[in-house]
Chains A and B, each alone.
Chain A
């Protein structure tokens, strides 16, 4: 009965949801960015999650039932949005500017979803903590 495994799983969830939130915030902040150190406009980033077995710690028959979560990759969007704006300093000869292909509404919903998932992880963490504390109380 090791609660440390549950804590480990919860914290993997907290970390990935926070990363999702950061990526969504970065996408929102750079919605109009036309210059980057790599050249070209900012590319929209998407977090890809995958489940991962818990490293040791869980040595009973259900080893493959309990999974942590991790970030498999952060994928960059290939497409850019061409907007007609001849007065823009980064406009090409025809007056088109390459802008990031980001839909702010989608990014906002992504942020809400990440926030909710984060809250769920916090609740699970709290439940684990209360169970561990309750067990300690047993000897009193």
Chain B
């Protein structure tokens, strides 16, 4: 499948994963705005995107038979949760939420265009 779906698709899907997980963390911060003792959190990349991508592939199970299916890629290890402050600041969180939302939409848009390009190639050669 490497010839059909190049590296960019892998990067973009890792990016989408990251944005979706970060969205959850940000929503949790906003919802706990008035909770005393709640510490805001932030999701960060453990390593560069490339290494994160590699870490994802490392988790393959050994296959003793060609009929065995590959294990589902491991998820969550490439990102890390950190405490981002002492108290939830609503303006910061709303800005981060909007930024994350737009970046997610951008990632989806890029993936869509990638697939549309593939689709065009497949259609036009018929």
Which residues from chain A sit less than 8 Å from chain B, CB to CB?
1, 3, 5-6, 9-10, 12-13, 17, 20, 49-51, 58, 60-62, 65-69, 113, 116-117, 120-121, 123-124, 127-128, 130-131, 134-135, 137-140
- The interface bits of chain B over 93-116 (1 if a CB of A lies within 8 angstroms of the residue's CB, else 0) are 110011011001100110110010
The 8 closest A-B pairs by CB, nearest first: A13-B31, A60-B76, A65-B81, A61-B76, A1-B20, A127-B101, A66-B28, A49-B35
> A135 CA to B112 CA in the complex, in Å?
9
Q: Tell me the minimal C-beta distance from A34 to chain B in angstroms.
A: 31
Q: List 10 A-B contacts (CB under 8 A).
A: A13-B30, A61-B81, A62-B79, A67-B32, A69-B35, A120-B94, A127-B101, A131-B23, A134-B108, A137-B108
> A121 CA to B97 CA in the complex, in Å?
11
Check if B90 is an interface residue, CB within 8 A of chain A.
yes
- Asked if B105 and A10 sit within 8 Å, CB to CB, the answer is no
Which residues from chain B sit less than 8 Å from chain A, CB to CB?
16-17, 19-21, 23-28, 30-36, 38, 41, 43, 75-77, 79, 81, 90, 93-94, 97-98, 100-101, 104-105, 108-109, 111-112, 115
**For B34, what are the chain A residues with a Cβ–Cβ distance below 8 Å?**
17, 20, 49, 69, 113, 117
Residues of B contacting A: mostly: helix
> A140 CA to B112 CA in the complex, in Å?
8
> A17 CA to B34 CA in the complex, in Å?
9
Given that A60-B75, A66-B24 are known contacts, is A51 also in contact with B35, CB under 8 Å in the complex? Answer: yes
- Asked if B36 and A62 sit within 8 Å, CB to CB, the answer is no
> A6 CA to B100 CA in the complex, in Å?
14
> A124 CA to B105 CA in the complex, in Å?
15
Q: Tell me the minimal C-beta distance from A43 to chain B in angstroms.
A: 22
Partner of B104, one of A61, A62, A65, A134: A134
- Asked if B97 and A124 sit within 8 Å, CB to CB, the answer is yes
